[in-house]
C-alpha cells in the first residue's frame, strides 16, 4: 500500500493518521434506510463506478509528551478478505515501533479497530502500553449478545481483551478520562455501547466511528447500518458537533477521508475540510 500517513496538528502536538487499509461499501450500509430521493443528491458525486463509497480503515498516532499514544490498532489478521493490516508499516513510516507506544485508547471493539492489538501468537502487540477502554465496551464483547452477532464479529475483541487482561495491560474507565497530559478520552456511545472519542490538546477531536461519512456533519440523523443504537449515536454526533464548533476543534474520524473544522450553518453544521485521504489505485480491497 502506497499511502503515507497524513499529519494533523493539535495545537503543537503532532498527530498522524495511519491508514490500515481501504474498502468500498454500499451507501445502504453507510446510511441506514438509504433512498435516492433523500440522500441521492448528496451521495452521487462520492460514488465510484460500481456505485459504492470509498472508506478508509485508520488509526491515530499522537506524539504526546509522555510518549506515543495510539488510538485503535486496525484490522491485524482478522479481516483477510479486505485490504487491511497495514498499521505496522504505517507506524514504521513515522519512526515509531510497537514497543515505543505508551498508551492505546480503544474507541470500540469492532474488528477493524482491535484486530491489531494482538500479534501472531495472540500476545499483546504493544507490550509497554496501557490500554484504555470504556467499561461498558469491555463488558459487552464477551457477552452472549456479542457472540450472537453475525460474521464472528466478537472474535477479535474477545481475543484482544483476554490477551490484555492476562498481561495486566487493560484499564477500564466509566466516564471522561485524561489518559495523558494532552489526550482525553470522552464517552461517545451509540455506534457501540461504550464507544469512546478522543480530544487531543483541546484542538483535535478524533471521533472514532461516531461519524462514518463527511455527510454526517450536516446530517447527523443519517445513522449507519453498523450503529448498534442509531438514536443514541445521532445524539452523540450532535453533542460532538456542538463541542467542535464551540471550541474550534478539528474533527476527524476513522473511516472518514476528510478532516476539518466544524462551522455552524443555520441550525446545523458544516465541515470545512483541511485534510483529505484519497484511495490509492493499487492494493484496494473489494
Across the strands, what pairs with 93?
none
Range of the domain at 269: 6-276
Residue 285 lies in a domain: no
| pLDDT tier at 4, thresholds 50, 70, 90 | confident
Cell numbers describing residue 3: 499511502
The answer as to whether 221 is a domain residue is: yes
Let me know: does 94 contact 9? Beta carbons within 8 Å. no
What's the pLDDT at 284?
Answer: 32
**If phi over 0 gives left and psi between -120 and 50 gives alpha, with beta otherwise, what is residue 74?**
left
Query: What is the structure's pLDDT at 282?
Result: 44
For residue 157, being part of any structural domain is answered with: yes
Number of domains in the chain: 1
Model confidence, pTM: 0.95
Q: Is 284 within a domain?
A: no
pLDDT of 1 over the 80 cut: no
**DSSP at 3:** P
Residue 281 lies inside a defined structural domain of this protein: no
> Does residue 216 lie in a domain region?
yes
The CATH number assigned to the domain holding 208 equals 3.60.15.10
Instruction: List pLDDT tens digits, range 189-247.
Output: 999 999 999 999 999 999 999 999 999 999 999 999 999 999 999 999 999 999 999 99
- Is residue 282 included in any domain, yes or no? no
Whether the Cβ atoms of residue 283 and residue 83 lie closer than 8 Å to each other: yes
Specify if 71 maps to a domain. yes
Residue whose entry in the numeric block shows the C-alpha cell 463509497: 53
Whether residue 286 has pLDDT greater than 90 = no
Amino acid at each position: 500500500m502506497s499511502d503515507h500517513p497524513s499529519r494533523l496538528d493539535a495545537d503543537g502536538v503532532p498527530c498522524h493518521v495511519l491508514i490500515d487499509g481501504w474498502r468500498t461499501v454500499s451507501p445502504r450500509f453507510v446510511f441506514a434506510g438509504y433512498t435516492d430521493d433523500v440522500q441521492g443528491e448528496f451521495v452521487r458525486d462520492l460514488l465510484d463506478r460500481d456505485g459504492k463509497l470509498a472508506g478508509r480503515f485508520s488509526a491515530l498516532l499522537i506524539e504526546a509528551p509522555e510518549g506515543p499514544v495510539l488510538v485503535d490498532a486496525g484490522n491485524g489478521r482478522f479481516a483477510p478478505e479486505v485490504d487491511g493490516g497495514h498499521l505496522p508499516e504505517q507506524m514504521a513510516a513515522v519512526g515509531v515501533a510497537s514497543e515505543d507506544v505508551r498508551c492505546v485508547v480503544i474507541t470500540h471493539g469492532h474488528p477493524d479497530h482491535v484486530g491489531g492489538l494482538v500479534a501472531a501468537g495472540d500476545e499483546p502487540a504493544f507490550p509497554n502500553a496501557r490500554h484504555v477502554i470504556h467499561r461498558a465496551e469491555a463488558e459487552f464483547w464477551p457477552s452472549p449478545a456479542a457472540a450472537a452477532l453475525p460474521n464472528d464479529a466478537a472474535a477479535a475483541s474477545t481475543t484482544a481483551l483476554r490477551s490484555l487482561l492476562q498481561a495486566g495491560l487493560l484499564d477500564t474507565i466509566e466516564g471522561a478520562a485524561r489518559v495523558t497530559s494532552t489526550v482525553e478520552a470522552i464517552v461517545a456511545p451509540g455506534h457501540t455501547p461504550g464507544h469512546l472519542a478522543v480530544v487531543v490538546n483541546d484542538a483535535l477531536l478524533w471521533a472514532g466511528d461516531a461519524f462514518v461519512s463527511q455527510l454526517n456533519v450536516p446530517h447527523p440523523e443519517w445513522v449507519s447500518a453498523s450503529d448498534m443504537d442509531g438514536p443514541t449515536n445521532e445524539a452523540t454526533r450532535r453533542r460532538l458537533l456542538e463541542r467542535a464548533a464551540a471550541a474550534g476543534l478539528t474533527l476527524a474520524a476513522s473511516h472518514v477521508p476528510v478532516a476539518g473544522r466544524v462551522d455552524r450553518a443555520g441550525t446545523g453544521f458544516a465541515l470545512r475540510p483541511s485534510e483529505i485521504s484519497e484511495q490509492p489505485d493499487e492494493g484496494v480491497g473489494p
